[in-house]
Chains A and B, each alone.
Chain A
Amino acid sequence: MLTLLVICFVAAFLAPLLHRLCPKYTGVLLLSAPLAMFVWLVKQIPEIMHGHPVEQTCIWVEKIGLELAFRLDGLSLLFALLISGIGMLILLYTQGYFKGHPQQGRFLMYITAFMASMLGVVFADNLLLIFIFWELTSFTSYLLIGFNHESEDARKAALQAMLVTVLGGLFLLGGLILMADAAGTWRLSELIQRGSELVAHKNYLPILILVCIGAFTKSAQFPFHFWLPNAMQAPTPASAYLHSSTMVKAGVYLLARLSPALGGTEEWMLILTTIGATTFLVGAVMALGQHVLKRLLAYTTVSALGAMIMLLGIGTDYTIKAMAVFVLAHAFYKATLFMVAGGITHETGGETSIDKLGGLRKAMPISFICALLAGLSMGGFIPFFGFVAKELWLHALDHYVLLVIATVIGGAAYVLVGLSVGLKPFVGKMPDGLRAHEIPPAMRFGPIILGAGCLALSFFLKPIGHGLIEPAASAIAGKELHVHLHLWAGFNKAFMISTGTVVLGIGLFFARNTLLGMAQKLRPITKVGPDAVYDFLLKSVLNFAGWQTRNLQNGSLRHYIRISVITTTFLVIAAFIRAGGFETFEKISPLSIRISAIGILMIFATFGTVKSESRLSSILSMGVVGFSMALLFTFFGAPDLAMTQVVIETLTVILMALAFYHLPATNHISPKKTRAIDIGVAVGFGVMITVLVLAALAVQTPTPVSDYYLEHSYKEAHGRNVVNVILVDFRALDTLGEITVLTIAALGGAALLKLRPSTRRRDVLVALPQESGGDTASTKKENPS
């Protein structure tokens, strides 16, 4: 399983290369990856049927639950078969759709990578793993929607889909973490066993809500549905694959997967059923007002996803079975319709509106038949597979009158859309100026196979029910279910309602122009919908980012220092207050006169450095500070430090003199107000440090490390100077690191000075600046003394 998955990912990255080598057969070559997967999956069916899931695990970091755990059960199998099966057809379709397109390799790479990620989602048996693949599908979807990156609309739609799904992904991550915490395991299959613990846990409701938000954003549930129709900016192969049959079902898959663990409660039912039914209706009704082929299909996809969630939410054995059947039926007809729609647009020179299409049956007979099959299946006409699904669905909803009414309205809309896409463009009179050809052979495979499937599945109900639906439904329900599918169940209530729906739908189809007119009048309402909220939020975030960048990161280095220091000061003060302020001093050393004198000298010298007008006197004052430091070191028993400090002071002065010679002496004075602010900031920081030092001194920490060094310096390291022994023996590795840093600094400095364009290297006489040369020389003489 892992190997096949890796092969899919590798195939994705090989796509551009393959395209360069043999552009004509890239799709066909890539096909081998999903084909291998598909064949393997089919071979697993008998095992799965008998309730033996396939498992494979590679432990990575055991402690924090990181592992590559994969598991194939009935539910995964159903989805994986759809993903790899439709994936193959899409690759072929792409081959024809993008014939001669220079970027075909890139597109194939994205779509194959997406396929692999999606397979990862349904295989993953670890919560973190599922999240990683989940995000990968969002990411590849972003790349696919934005494939035509020169179009602004495509970029905007891609960003929108990405933001909505990734934001949802974050919620999902939160939910997954809480869930793993509550159940005590990251393993999905174990977690499902502990459903009762989860439901009783105090975090159950937050978990449920977070997971639901994640799933709803991905599966375009109301009110997050708006990104899906916009995502139709993607090239049609991507729409057909991602946005109808696979990625958007990830949310449905996740909820179905978790339903044994989280489901069965009132909250679960309330949230899923309400949102699902709302989405179902909103999508269906909004589809009525559309005339662009792909958008029409997109809204019904939204609606269909809502139906799946709704059925899942009710959670009886019947609804679960109905949902599993519907997933299969929907994938077949929707992918076919998308592919045909793309083919129509492709072959008529970019026509997208169904109102401007007609009479294509002669020019595109194959497309016509496929579209008609799929359209009828969508409408739920007998004996198509869609009918079987619809029948089961109505049967399952038996007691829920409101939901049945909703289903009738939605179902009628499905009939309308199915006929609009499957029939309308092909019959009637061909509008003037419309030219069309049949789609190229490579694009035919998908519509033919899937379109035929819409009908053919109805004749293999027994093996499908037994081999696919039963294991999937059992996995969702978390218990053994038995599925017997019937094409004809007699003249029962469900059949009556179903027939009524179809009749209503046909009626609507003929009244379509009236409906469109009504939709036109209602258009302004959509302006206040979630799409507008999204736009407003995005704009606000950008404005806020712009505002804070202007104010906090305006490019002035001094301002950065100011901001950092103010923040630090406040944070430290806050932490200090929270910690409860000072501890009392246990003992305070007496004030010695010489050290007090040095301290006061240092304070004065610091002020001198800051106040001085000329840079020479600044350097001198700083020298005073440095030498005072050396004196302090001497008094407190640190001769090594004192010596080093003295030499360093000398060298610093030499270096500064050398460098300042090349820098102008001009001084730039800030305005008075700025200086006042800076003084405030500096004083505040200084006071904060003072308080902090005092607080730190009040805490007496034991010094076991130092004592160890003092004890063993001579005995083990044969050195009397403990400081030196620490540097070259006890902590030699630190020192080694330090001298490495020194070397790098020197080489960097030398490189900065020496390596520059078009400059000759020349040794020059070093001359100190004229105006201050004498002074500096005398400083230098003084220093070593």
Chain B
Amino acid sequence: MTSIILRTATLYMFPPLILFSVYLLLRGHHYPGGGFVGGLMGGAAFALYSLAFNVAAARKLLRFDPRDIAAVGLAISLLSGLPALFSGEVFLTGTWWKIPLGNGNYFDLGTPFIFDIGVYLVVLGVLLTLVFSLGEEE
């Protein structure tokens, strides 16, 4: 891509896009958002980057192979189902822990949230695997 405008714009847009995608993931349980749309947003950011510069640069920025990301995400989702088994529940039943934040408030950490992180990574990995593969096509 030769457009200097696009490159410059991408450089500025990329960090907020990534931040936004993580934000979508984190708030997903209570407000619109979640792993799916977050992962798509993050993937879109990298796809934009690969268009503006090139796939090699985007791969370098990502640091991990997108296929590995998808695999790790799948593993995380799968593992998040296991804690329920220890308390005698069915696989993937939500289990919650209260994590004190110090000022009297608690943060609810639950396996569904971990599951959502896995979804995020899978969607990101899948998307980028396809985009990068097509982009590298001669």
Tell whether any CB of A sits under 8 Å from a CB of B in the complex: yes
A719 to B32, CA, bound (A): 11
Q: Chain B residues near A651 (CB, 8 Å)?
A: 40, 43-44, 47, 127, 131
- Given A729-B112, A742-B123, residue A750 in contact with residue B33 (CB < 8 A): no
Q: When the two chains form their complex, are residues A718 and B108 in contact, meaning their CB atoms are under 8 A apart?
A: yes
Q: Which of these binds chain B: A64-72, A598-606, A653-661? A: A653-661
Q: When the two chains form their complex, are residues B40 and A648 in contact, meaning their CB atoms are under 8 A apart?
A: yes
Q: When the two chains form their complex, are residues A725 and B29 in contact, meaning their CB atoms are under 8 A apart?
A: yes
Q: Chain B residues near A762 (CB, 8 Å)?
A: 136, 138
**B31 at the binding interface (Cβ < 8 Å):** yes
Q: Chain A residue with minimal CB distance to B54?
A: A765
Interface residues of chain B: helix, strand, loop or mixed (majority): helix
**A747 at the binding interface (Cβ < 8 Å):** yes
**A682 at the binding interface (Cβ < 8 Å):** no
Q: How far is the CB of A637 from chain B (nearest CB, A)?
A: 11
Interface residues of A in 753-785 (CB under 8 A from B): 753-754, 761-768, 777, 780-781, 784
**B119 at the binding interface (Cβ < 8 Å):** yes
Q: When the two chains form their complex, are residues B73 and A739 in contact, meaning their CB atoms are under 8 A apart?
A: yes
Q: When the two chains form their complex, are residues A766 and B125 in contact, meaning their CB atoms are under 8 A apart?
A: no
- Given A658-B131, A724-B116, residue A739 in contact with residue B77 (CB < 8 A): yes
**B110 at the binding interface (Cβ < 8 Å):** yes
Q: When the two chains form their complex, are residues B41 and A647 in contact, meaning their CB atoms are under 8 A apart?
A: yes
Q: When the two chains form their complex, are residues B133 and A750 in contact, meaning their CB atoms are under 8 A apart?
A: yes
- Given A719-B112, A732-B81, A743-B74, residue A768 in contact with residue B67 (CB < 8 A): no
Contact residue among A648, A735, A761 (Cβ-Cβ distance under 8 Å from B119): A735
**B22 at the binding interface (Cβ < 8 Å):** no
Contact residue among B32, B44, B81, B129 (Cβ-Cβ distance under 8 Å from A750): B129
Q: When the two chains form their complex, are residues B125 and A721 in contact, meaning their CB atoms are under 8 A apart?
A: no
Beyond A727-B36, A763-B136, A777-B1: 14 further Cβ-contacts under 8 Å?
A718-B110, A725-B112, A729-B94, A729-B112, A739-B123, A743-B122, A746-B130, A747-B67, A747-B129, A754-B133, A763-B55, A764-B55, A764-B136, A766-B54
Q: Chain A residues near B94 (CB, 8 Å)?
A: 716-718, 729, 732
- Given A717-B94, A724-B116, residue A763 in contact with residue B29 (CB < 8 A): no
A740 to B70, CA, bound (A): 9
Q: Chain A residues near B30 (CB, 8 Å)?
A: 719-721
Q: Chain A residues near B82 (CB, 8 Å)?
A: none
Q: When the two chains form their complex, are residues A743 and B112 in contact, meaning their CB atoms are under 8 A apart?
A: no
Q: Chain A residues near B3 (CB, 8 Å)?
A: 777
Q: Chain A residues near B78 (CB, 8 Å)?
A: 736
Q: Which of these binds chain B: A289-297, A327-335, A638-646? A: A638-646
Q: When the two chains form their complex, are residues A720 and B77 in contact, meaning their CB atoms are under 8 A apart?
A: no
Q: Chain A residues near B18 (CB, 8 Å)?
A: none
A710 to B84, CA, bound (A): 23
0/1 interface trace, chain A 113-141, chain B, CB 8 Å (1 if under): 00000000000000000000000000000
Q: How far is the CB of A34 from chain B (nearest CB, A)?
A: 52
Q: Chain A residues near B125 (CB, 8 Å)?
A: 743, 746
A655 to B59, CA, bound (A): 17
0/1 interface trace, chain A 691-729, chain B, CB 8 Å (1 if under): 000000000000000000000000011111101110111
CB-defined A-B contacts under 8 Å, sample of 8: A640-B34, A721-B30, A727-B34, A728-B34, A732-B115, A735-B115, A739-B74, A749-B130
A361 to B17, CA, bound (A): 102
Q: Chain B residue with minimal CB distance to A645?
A: B37
Q: Chain B residue with minimal CB distance to A647?
A: B40
Q: Chain A residues near B28 (CB, 8 Å)?
A: 721, 724
- Given A643-B33, A728-B35, residue A739 in contact with residue B54 (CB < 8 A): no
Q: When the two chains form their complex, are residues B71 and A743 in contact, meaning their CB atoms are under 8 A apart?
A: yes
- Given A640-B32, A719-B29, A777-B6, residue A658 in contact with residue B135 (CB < 8 A): yes
Q: When the two chains form their complex, are residues A644 and B37 in contact, meaning their CB atoms are under 8 A apart?
A: yes
Q: When the two chains form their complex, are residues B130 and A750 in contact, meaning their CB atoms are under 8 A apart?
A: yes
Residues of B within 8 A of A (CB): 1, 3, 6, 9, 24, 28-37, 40-41, 43-44, 47-48, 50-51, 54-56, 59, 66-67, 70-71, 73-74, 77-78, 81, 91-92, 94, 96, 108, 110, 112-113, 115-116, 118-119, 122-123, 125-127, 129-131, 133-138
**A650 at the binding interface (Cβ < 8 Å):** yes
**A545 at the binding interface (Cβ < 8 Å):** no
Q: How far is the CB of A525 from chain B (nearest CB, A)?
A: 72
Q: Chain A residues near B50 (CB, 8 Å)?
A: 766
Q: Chain B residues near A743 (CB, 8 Å)?
A: 70-71, 74, 122, 125-126
Q: Chain B residues near A753 (CB, 8 Å)?
A: 133-134, 136-137
Q: Chain A residues near B113 (CB, 8 Å)?
A: 728
Q: When the two chains form their complex, are residues B37 and A739 in contact, meaning their CB atoms are under 8 A apart?
A: no
Q: Chain B residue with minimal CB distance to A745?
A: B126
Q: How far is the CB of B73 from chain A (nearest CB, A)?
A: 7
Q: Chain B residues near A740 (CB, 8 Å)?
A: 74
A514 to B92, CA, bound (A): 89
**A662 at the binding interface (Cβ < 8 Å):** yes
- Given A721-B28, A728-B112, A777-B3, residue A733 in contact with residue B123 (CB < 8 A): no
A766 to B133, CA, bound (A): 11
- Given A643-B33, A647-B44, A732-B115, residue A749 in contact with residue B133 (CB < 8 A): yes
- Given A718-B96, A743-B71, residue A662 in contact with residue B137 (CB < 8 A): yes
Q: Chain B residue with minimal CB distance to A747?
A: B67
Q: Chain A residue with minimal CB distance to B90?
A: A733
Q: How far is the CB of A766 from chain B (nearest CB, A)?
A: 5
Q: Chain A residues near B96 (CB, 8 Å)?
A: 718
Q: Chain B residues near A647 (CB, 8 Å)?
A: 37, 40-41, 44
